[in-house]
Structures are given as C-alpha cells and as structure tokens.
A and B are shown apart, each in its own frame.
Chain A
Amino acid sequence: MSRELRPDADETELLERARNGDSEAFGALVERYQRRVIGVAQAIVHNQDDAVELAQETFVRAYENLAKFESRSSFSTWLYRIAANLSIDFRRREGRHQVLRGEDAENEINRLPSPRGDSYQETVRTELSRRINEALKELTPEHRAVILLREVEGLSYDEISDVLQVPRGTVMSRLHYARGRMRATLKDLGRS
C-alpha cells in the first residue's frame, strides 16, 4: 500500500499521504520542521527539555488534526501556532513566569557548541551567553517570545502575529520594547 517516498517529495504530497495514515510521510514532515517547532516552543517556555516535549506534542496534535488543516495558512505556520498555543498553555499551567531556572541556564550554556582551540574565545562566548540569558530573564514571557521568534527563529512580523495570535502592531511594539530592554540590560551587565 505504501508507495516509495521520494526525498524531494513536496509538502502537499507529504500532507496528502500523511492524511491517509502514511506515517513515513509524516515522519518526513517532522524531520523538516522539528528544529523550528522546538525553537518556537523554546522561545515561549525558555527551557529546552520542556520545549522538546512540547514539540513532540505539537506534532502528535498536528497529526490528529491533519484533516482539519485547510491550507489557508502554510503548514509551517499552522505547526508553529499549535506549538505556541501548547507552550503558552504549558507556561500558564506550570506558572513558570521565571522560566529560566538557574540550573537550566547552566545547561543552556553547556549545550552551546564550543569553538575549537581558543579557550579565551570560548570564555568570552560563554560570558556573552550568560549575559544574554540574564537579559532574557528580565523580559516578560510575551516580550521574550517575540524577540526570540524574530531573532533566533527568523519569523516575519506577520508570522509572529499569526503564531501568537496578536496584531502585527502588537508584535512591533513588543519587539521594540524587548530590544530596548535587552540593549539596556546588556550594557548594565557589561559595565558590572
């Protein structure tokens, strides 16, 4: 019953096959979007382990609701929206407004790819990462989500608006605030 899956199979074909229960085709979609879905979840909950679990849940929910996906938006935006909703619900449920716990911050830093050779550069990099994470902690989850979706995941304003279901103007104002706050915090941390 299952046909050969071409490596370059387009999204429409993969979706159609996944709708008909072809898990291999859905696996190809998971491979394609997993990193970004994790990124969206991580932008909101700011914890990698939680983000990975939420991303898994996102794909399972997406699979269950494939028949309801009407292609009015792109599949990726639909996925990100599911991930964002699950992540926002998770954050509310867990009451994790102070999402980046000390231990997690250390883990985040340890997971960074280490540059080869120069230990001084590595130290600088680690210090910069620590400051960035400190500055992110100063933001509200809403502001943090917007700036991470934009700067790390590279989503456009319209995509962020769609994923978080807020007006584009809100995205712009939150982003403006988050950038200004991050800039100020990083300068303070630099001075200290």
Chain B
Amino acid sequence: MARCEEIKLLLGPFEDGELEPHEMQEVARHLVGCAECEDELADYGSLAVSLRGAAAIPDLTGFTTAVLARIDQLPISLRVRVYRYFTSFADGIGATIATGFAAAAVAVITAVILTPYFKQAHFNFDMSGHQKVARATRTGPAAALGQVAKNEALPIPPDVANGLSDADDFGDNGGAIQPVEASSGAIIDRLEADSPSVAVWSEPQSDTTVIWVPDQSR
C-alpha cells in the first residue's frame, strides 16, 4: 500500500502531463495492476470535466470598450508624448517633401509641354524681327536717300542720282528680301566708289541710312 500512497501523489501530475518521462512510465505500470489508483485517476478526469462545465462564461460584451475608455482618461505618458511629437514632425517633413516633389513634377511636366510652344513663338519672333530689319534695310537706303535728299533740298550729283534710279529699280524688284540686303551694300559701295566725296553709313538703331553729300555751292 505504501507503493499506492506514493503513486497517488503523482496521479494528478500524471493526468496533467507534468511528470518526467520515467515517472510517467512508472505510474502507467502501476495503474495496470491497481484498480484503486485507476479509479482515483478516473475521478480526477471527470472532476476536470465537471469544473470546466460548471465554469461561468463571462459576458464579454463591451469589455474592451470599457477598458479603452478607462485608458483614454489616463494622463499621456512622457514616452507617448515624445513619440507622438516626433511622429507628427516626421509626418510634417514627409508632407513637405511630398509637396516639393509634386511641385517639381508639375514644373517639369509644364516645361516639357510648353517648350515646343516657346520655341515656336521664339522662332516666329525672330522671323518677324528679321523680316522687319530686312524690310527696313530694303527701304532704308533708297527711301532715306531720296528723303534726305528731298528734305535737305541739296543738289544731287549726277552720280548719286544714278544711284537713286538704280535703287528705285531695285525697289521695284518684287520684295525679295535677300537680294535687297545684298544690293543695299552694293549701292552704298558704288556710291562711295563713284563719288568719293559722298559718305554713306547706316544707323541700325534708328533704322536709317545716312548719306552725306558735300555742299556743292562752295
């Protein structure tokens, strides 16, 4: 019986699986030949089942909400405050960076889209300016020559008058731009060559060609 008393101390842990392997084997061997210990072990098993069956099942409705409501009333710890500060700071930095990236992206896209239009507009501007210069150049020597000569009422030397007629001929030449520019220089060169006393120069700022003719009355 002393053997049974020793084993009975181990029956509970045997039921719970809390014995060392060699103890488990020892109890199992004893149980094979001991009806009393086997009954006691069976009682432990049914006791466990009864206890679990009798356990009241708590109503958990609203439990978590109640706990969180109590937690909300607690003062915020320093750790949490520091964490929230840095998190919001990081969020702010992140938002700034995101805004910067967005702005840069918009700028790049705008530039990509508008660049061809700008180029076209610039080209048109250059072309119109070029044409204006060319037109001024075309009209400049001839008109200015006549205008200056008329306004000043100066006696025009015959060689200059020839140049004028040439210029007029040239002016009737149908508006071809390039030949006009080339011929303007030629006219000036011819005037200067034929009449060394005549000086001709161009004032691009005022879009004017000046022809200086010496006073014939002297």
Q: Measuring CB to CB, which residues of chain A are less than 8 angstroms from any residue of chain B?
A: 1, 19-21, 23, 26-27, 30-31, 34-35, 38-39, 42, 48, 51-52, 55-56, 59-60, 63-64, 67, 107-108, 111-113, 125, 128-129, 132-133, 147-148, 150-152, 156-157, 172, 175-176, 179, 182-183, 186
Interface residues in chain B, defined as those with a beta carbon under 8 Å from any beta carbon in chain A: 9, 12-13, 16, 18, 40, 43-44, 47-48, 50-58, 60, 63-64, 66-68, 70-72, 74, 76-77, 79-80, 83-84, 87-88, 91
* B58 in contact with A38 (CB, 8 Å): yes
Q: Is there contact, CB below 8 Å, between B58 and A42?
A: yes
Interface of A is mostly: helix
Asked if B71 contacts A48 (CB within 8 A), the reply is no
Task: Give 12 A-B contacts (CB < 8 Å), ordered by A residue.
Answer: A27-B67, A30-B67, A48-B56, A60-B74, A111-B56, A151-B47, A156-B18, A172-B13, A176-B12, A179-B12, A183-B43, A186-B47
Question: How far, in angstroms, from A48 to B51 measured CA to CA in the complex?
Answer: 15
List residues of chain A with CB within 8 A of the CB of B91.
Answer: 1
In whole Å, how far is A114's beta carbon from the nearest beta carbon of chain B? 11
Interface core residue of A20, A51, A156 (most chain B CB under 10 Å)? A20
User: What CA separation (Å) do A133 and B13 show in the bound complex?
Assistant: 23
Provide the bound-state CA to CA distance between A147 and B15, in Å.
Answer: 13
Q: A42-B58, A157-B16 are contacts. A183–B64 as well, Cβ < 8 Å?
A: no
Interface class of chain B by DSSP: helix
Task: Look across to chain B and name the residue whose beta carbon is closest to the beta carbon of A1.
Answer: B87
Contacts of B71 in A (CB 8 A): 23, 26, 59-60, 63
Query: What residue in chain A is nearest B40 (Cβ atoms)?
Result: A183
Known A-B contacts A42-B56, A60-B70, A63-B74; A1 and B48 likewise in contact (beta carbons under 8 Å)? no
Find out whether the CB atom of A51 lies under 8 angstroms from the CB atom of B58. yes
Chain B residues positioned under 8 Å from A35 (CB to CB): 58, 60
User: A64 to nearest B CB, angstroms?
Assistant: 7
Complex alpha-carbon distance, A39 and B72, angstroms:
25
A23 close to B72 (CB less than 8 A): yes
A147 to B50 Cα, complex, angstroms: 12
Tell me, rounded to whole Å, the shortest Cβ–Cβ distance linking B8 to chain A: 8
Q: CA A186 – CA B83 in complex, angstroms?
A: 57
Complex CA–CA separation, A60 to B64 (angstroms): 11
